[in-house]
Every structure is written in C-alpha cells, then in structure tokens.
Chains A and B, each alone.
Chain A
C-alpha cells in the first residue's frame, strides 16, 4: 500500500518545489498567503495520515515500504490499508481543491511569464493529484461493495451492440482492425447488471485499443445456456506489446501496470483492470489473462446470468423521445481527451447536431466569438484552464447571448464539492462519465429548454426567484475609493461565499451542525460589508436551524436555493464593481 502514498508524496514534493520557486513579490500578499496556507495544511494532513496513522486513533498496520504488496488471498492485509487509502484520499481532497482553486486565482492575476509558468505547473501537478485521489476513492468504493451490482432484466444483444459501437468510435488509428463477433444465438433477456457488464468489456477493449499500435483487436462472445442460467464468455484479444510473465499474475492487482507498457499521461493509477476483476467477482464471474511479450494479450471473461423472461426495463430501451429537437443545434464541446471527444462527437452527429470541437480551451473561446453556439458541453478537467474556469468566463462574457448559453458539464466523479463548484460556476447540468446516450441527450434537451425559459424569464425579472441585493457603495467608501482594494475585497468576498457553499454542501449531508454554524458565522461579515440583506437573512435562518440542531432538510433546501442564486449574486457583484472601475 505505501507505494501509492509515496506516489502522492512525490507529487507533493514536486508541487512544493514549484511553490518555492515562486516569486511572491508581485502577487497580492493575500493570495500568496492563501496558497501557502492551503499547501501547508494539506501537507501536514497528508503526512500525518501516512506516517502516523495511530495519531488518528485507528489501528492500521502499515507494511514497510520495502515489503511486497499483498496478493489476492491476503485480503485482510490489504483491507486496512484500503481504509487508509480511502481516509487519506477523502481528507486530502478538500485542501487539494483549495490548492487548485487558489492556483487558478493566481493565474488570473498579473503574472510575468515565469510566474505564469510556475502557476501552470502548480495547477497541473495538483490537478493530477486530484485525479489520483478520485481514482483511489472509486476503487475503494468498489472494494467495499458500496455499489452492489444491479439485478435487472436486459437484452444482452443490445449491450454488446453498444460496446461494439463505442469501441469503434475509440479506434482512431487506421492501422488497427477490429472484429466483434457474437458466436451463436444469445438469450433474448438476461438478469444482471448491464452497465457493469458493458463497463467490464469497455475496460478490456479500451486497454487493448490504448496499447495496440497496429494489427488486430477482437472480441468474441459465446453463451452456454443451462436450465435457468446462462454463462457468457467473452474473449478480448489484441496484437499489442504483451505483458511479461512476471507481471501477469499481478495485473489484476491495483497499481500494477506492466512495466513495459508506457503510461499514457493522465491515465491515472492503473485501477482499470483491478476494477474489472472486482466487478467480475461481484457478479460471480471470473477474468483471466494470457499474454506473450511482442505478440499480444488475451483476456477471458466469464459472467453468469439468470435467464430473464420479462421485458427489459423500459428506461434502458426506450429511445430518447425527443432527440429531434437536437437536430441542427450547434454544440460546442470542450474536451481535451481525443478519445472522449470522438465519442461525444459521434453521439451528437448521430442526433443531427453540428459539432464544434475544442481540444484546447482557447479554440473553444474562439468558437464562442465566431459561431452561433446553442449549447456548451464542458469537460471539467482540462489542462490550462479547467471547465469551471471556462464556464465562469462564459458567464462573465461581455456578450449577453454568450453569457446566457446553457453549459452542461461532463465529469467522471460526482462529489459534493464538484456539485457546489458546478453550481457556483453557473453550470446548469451535469452528465457523469461514462454516460449513456440517453443521459447525454436528456441533459442536452433539458439545457436547451431551460435556456429558452430563461430567456423568457429575463424579460420580467421579478418572476425569477429572490433577487440578490447587494451594494458596493459602503465598501467603496470603506476602501477609501481605491478601486484595486475594492476589487480585492470583491474577490475575497466571492471566495468566502464559495467556501461557505462548499462547507454547507458537505456538512449538511450527514449534518454537522457545529461546522455549519461556523461556516455561516464566517460568511456573515462579508455579506454585511456588502449589505447583501437577502443572503444575510438566509444565513441567519441557517444559523438558527443549526443552533437548534434540527432541520437538516431545511438547511439543505437553503443550500440548494443559495447555490442556485449564486451566479446571479456574482453577476451583480461584478457588474457593480465595473461601475467603480477608473474611467468607467
């Protein structure tokens, strides 16, 4: 287990080096201080968790770094370290998000070229760490069996057809051939977890596609029917680099990517095959591998299902009812991963959309200016400027039409923090990857409809919920009519409110009233300075609820409506700020 912790620590030292190379003279001292502070907290927590787990009162027996990792039979040994992984991952995610956030803020300031490079490096390193942490959490969830496989009736032919289609869209290289074969008849309906089934196959096929430069990839599917059960056998093979024998038996363990397989940047920790193994086991099946270096690999998957007689659930089968409204719509996709881009493009084109592809955010921002876009599909994790930042840019755009564009986020991990940040950036909807075509089309349709309604509401503003009322007048005087100071205050205010919403989101789930009260108390000062009375009233109600230690649901309700109102509060804030700009 310590190998992945050490991996994190390595990343951390990188981050620290960059941070130390930073020249702080030209940064606002508050920003620099914040960044340093979140970094220090983060580091202390991480080191505390990793090196002295007993300090948190838990009995973890950590293997020494030189000890070999456990093998599948030794579940008990790995179990406690799994708990630790989950704990570490969870604990460090919040401060890590802080680092990402503040690094982001730094980049928006006035930096010279060298500083810009350093800030980018901090952002890239901390972004990579966040990705790792999320992968670790996913892995832990599956191990713990938090997500048991579903038991629904489904049509295997349909699942396999989807897998075939998705795989084809993933193959970009023409030097690769792909054969997908279903040998013999399949039962019409099976009972089990269709999405796990396809996830397992997609992981195996995805790997094959990723690692095979040229030659052939194939998938053959057979079924053996006994009375009421059916075993599905899938063989996924490739002519890729192959896996050395020494690595073969470890391939289904976490973090054991074969050494001769070069890591693809940003592809995480090699949890894919270990997830496949876990999922297959949970479904009562097995997965095994044969491989020869230089010749290729073959994965054999066996999954048992009960034979179903009923109709599969309508939800899966029903074609999205009104995809016709998507026809001819101009959709802009921000997505840095070419495979994902290809996938989304294929889907959207299938519905008759006109697709604009932005593999880099700058290209996308250009499209916004030059093309008439109807909706933006936004990957949240992108290098350079992430989806949150790009969405904010859209929401703060000078052009009213661009400002009002519906934005649908794409993300692989959905956490309360992500939820709060998404709302705060004015992103209207979210699709969790990997997504079904239905989930995507529904989100698109919803986005387009809401945009239409929103435009209607815009013309009579009093209809649209409670108005954020705030005034910068007093703060302006308090700042001695110094615009830079006022701007700094507005930034701090915005951060404060975001922090509050984040805290409220987390602590209202399994309610921690003390934390809620503290968060509410903290945000009040800023709201008072800005005379944001409507918000202040809400905060006071939240405080009262938290004080009486009841009404978690009501607090949650307040959270929802405040989050929904935040983009408007923000818009008013910056609009007012602009009025104080010298020369405005």
Chain B
C-alpha cells in the first residue's frame, strides 16, 4: 500500500479548517491542522509534509511570514499554497515573491483546493 501524502493546513477559522480537512482527508490525504502560525512552526520542526496550505491572516505568524520561514530559514522547496481573502492582492504578490507556488481566494471551494493540491503534487514529483 502506498503511504498517504501528508499536508499541513494552517487556517485559524475552525469551521473552514474542519471543512477543508474533512474534504482533503476524503480525497486521500493525511492532514495536520494548525490554528495559528506558531503551531505551524512547531509542526515544521518535527518534519516537512508533502505540501503546505497557509492562510494569510493568522495569529502569531502570518501566512506570509511562514512562507518566508519555509523558503528562507528552512530552505525547503515543499509545494506551498496560500489562502487569502479577495482584495488582499498585495499580500498574495508578496507571497509569490517569497516563493509560494499557488494561491486560492476565499471563500475557498474545497473541490478547487483539492484539484490544485493534486496538480501541485504531480508537478513536484516529476
């Protein structure tokens, strides 16, 4: 049996997080949920998952800071999707500058997120 691919989902809104986690798990991923930036850093210290999903507005460390942390401090190339509210284009551009691979706008459609996750994973394993 092939081991499931693992994701870290960083999203401070519990409702949205539960929904996304549920759908991603149904789609066959192992999902670890972090409710704030600090929890994400703690998780990353125990190892890197196959893909990262960061909400931009989060307590302690924003998604932007986390992108910077992953790319520049951990120097990891783990595929990374940022989630942001519409109208926050500046932040999204910053995230891309820092090395985010994809961006998805809120309200997030779980189906769309799954498609993007799969696409990124295929790309990165090539």
- Is B14 positioned at the interface, with any CB of A under 8 Å from its CB? yes
A568 to B12, CA, bound (A): 27
Q: What total of chain B residues lie within 8 Å of the partner, measured CB to CB?
A: 17
Chain B 105-119: CB-based contact to A (< 8 A → 1; otherwise 0):
011011100000000
Q: How far is the CB of B119 from chain A (nearest CB, A)?
A: 19
> For residues 478 through 522 of chain A, which have their beta carbon under 8 Å from a beta carbon of chain B?
478-480, 485, 488-489, 492-493, 496, 521-522
Q: Tell whether, in the assembled complex, residue A478 and residue B19 are in contact, meaning their CB atoms are under 8 Å apart.
A: yes
Which residue on B lies nearest to A484, using beta carbons? B22
- Is A241 positioned at the interface, with any CB of B under 8 Å from its CB? no
Which residue on A lies nearest to B35, using beta carbons? A37
Q: Tell whether, in the assembled complex, residue A489 and residue B19 are in contact, meaning their CB atoms are under 8 Å apart.
A: yes
Residues in A neighbouring B12, C-beta threshold 8 A: 522
Chain B 6-44: CB-based contact to A (< 8 A → 1; otherwise 0):
000000111110110011001000000000000000000
A492 to B16, CA, bound (A): 9
Which residue on A lies nearest to B27, using beta carbons? A480
Q: Tell whether, in the assembled complex, residue B107 and residue A492 are in contact, meaning their CB atoms are under 8 Å apart.
A: no
Q: How far is the CB of A113 from chain B (nearest CB, A)?
A: 28
Q: Tell whether, in the assembled complex, residue B16 and residue A525 are in contact, meaning their CB atoms are under 8 Å apart.
A: yes
A526 to B14, CA, bound (A): 9
Contact A480/B26 with A492-B18, A521-B57, A525-B106 known, Cβ cut-off 8 Å:
yes
Q: Tell whether, in the assembled complex, residue B107 and residue A496 are in contact, meaning their CB atoms are under 8 Å apart.
A: no
> For residues 35 through 63 of chain B, which have their beta carbon under 8 Å from a beta carbon of chain A?
57
Contact A528/B106 with A492-B14, A496-B13, A521-B57 known, Cβ cut-off 8 Å:
yes
Residues in A neighbouring B110, C-beta threshold 8 A: 478
Residues in A neighbouring B57, C-beta threshold 8 A: 521
Q: How far is the CB of A487 from chain B (nearest CB, A)?
A: 12
Residues in B neighbouring A479, C-beta threshold 8 A: 19, 22-23
Q: Tell whether, in the assembled complex, residue B14 and residue A529 are in contact, meaning their CB atoms are under 8 Å apart.
A: no
Which residue on B lies nearest to A522, using beta carbons? B13
A78 to B91, CA, bound (A): 52
Q: Tell whether, in the assembled complex, residue B19 and residue A30 are in contact, meaning their CB atoms are under 8 Å apart.
A: no
Residues in A neighbouring B23, C-beta threshold 8 A: 478-480
Which residue on A lies nearest to B85, using beta carbons? A524
Q: Tell whether, in the assembled complex, residue A525 and residue B107 are in contact, meaning their CB atoms are under 8 Å apart.
A: yes
Which residue from B26, B107, B111 sits with its C-beta under 8 Å from A528? B107
Q: Tell whether, in the assembled complex, residue B106 and residue A489 are in contact, meaning their CB atoms are under 8 Å apart.
A: no
Q: How far is the CB of B43 from chain A (nearest CB, A)?
A: 15
> What is the number of contacts between chain A and chain B, taking CB atoms within 8 Å?
45
Contact A496/B22 with A521-B57, A528-B107 known, Cβ cut-off 8 Å:
no
Which residue on B lies nearest to A478, using beta carbons? B110
Contact A489/B15 with A478-B23, A479-B22, A521-B57 known, Cβ cut-off 8 Å:
yes
Q: Tell whether, in the assembled complex, residue B26 and residue A529 are in contact, meaning their CB atoms are under 8 Å apart.
A: no
Residues in B neighbouring A493, C-beta threshold 8 A: 15
A522 to B13, CA, bound (A): 6
Which residue on A lies nearest to B59, using beta carbons? A518
Q: Tell whether, in the assembled complex, residue B22 and residue A525 are in contact, meaning their CB atoms are under 8 Å apart.
A: no
Which residue on B lies nearest to A526, using beta carbons? B15
Residues in A neighbouring B106, C-beta threshold 8 A: 525, 528
Residues in A neighbouring B26, C-beta threshold 8 A: 480
Residues in B neighbouring A524, C-beta threshold 8 A: 85
Chain A 459-494: CB-based contact to B (< 8 A → 1; otherwise 0):
000000000000000010011100001001100110
Instruction: Choose among B15, B26, B110 the residue with the greatest number of A CB atoms under 10 Å from its CB.
Output: B15
Instruction: Choose among A475, A478, A521 the residue with the greatest number of B CB atoms under 10 Å from its CB.
Output: A478
Residues in A neighbouring B18, C-beta threshold 8 A: 30, 488-489, 492
Residues in B neighbouring A521, C-beta threshold 8 A: 57
Q: Tell whether, in the assembled complex, residue B22 and residue A492 are in contact, meaning their CB atoms are under 8 Å apart.
A: no
Which residue on B lies nearest to A488, using beta carbons? B18
Q: Tell whether, in the assembled complex, residue A529 and residue B15 are in contact, meaning their CB atoms are under 8 Å apart.
A: yes
Contact A526/B13 with A478-B19, A479-B22, A480-B23 known, Cβ cut-off 8 Å:
yes
Which residue on B lies nearest to A528, using beta carbons? B107
Q: How far is the CB of A252 from chain B (nearest CB, A)?
A: 46
Contact A485/B22 with A478-B110, A521-B57 known, Cβ cut-off 8 Å:
yes
Q: How far is the CB of B91 from chain A (nearest CB, A)?
A: 13
Which residue from B14, B19, B109, B111 sits with its C-beta under 8 Å from A496? B14
Which residue on A lies nearest to B57, using beta carbons? A521
Residues in A neighbouring B22, C-beta threshold 8 A: 479, 485
A469 to B43, CA, bound (A): 39
Q: How far is the CB of B62 from chain A (nearest CB, A)?
A: 12
**Chain A interface (Cβ < 8 Å from any Cβ of B):** 30, 34, 475, 478-480, 485, 488-489, 492-493, 496, 521-522, 524-526, 528-529
| Extra A-B contacts (14), CB below 8 Å, given A480-B23, A526-B16, A528-B106 | A30-B14, A478-B23, A478-B109, A479-B19, A480-B26, A489-B18, A489-B19, A492-B18, A493-B15, A525-B15, A525-B16, A525-B107, A528-B107, A529-B107
**Chain B interface (Cβ < 8 Å from any Cβ of A):** 12-16, 18-19, 22-23, 26, 57, 85, 106-107, 109-111
**Contacts A/B (CB < 8 Å), 30 sampled:** A30-B14, A30-B18, A475-B19, A478-B19, A478-B23, A478-B109, A478-B110, A479-B19, A479-B23, A480-B23, A480-B26, A485-B22, A489-B18, A489-B19, A492-B14, A492-B15, A492-B18, A493-B15, A496-B13, A496-B15, A521-B57, A522-B12, A522-B13, A524-B85, A525-B13, A525-B15, A525-B107, A526-B13, A529-B15, A529-B107
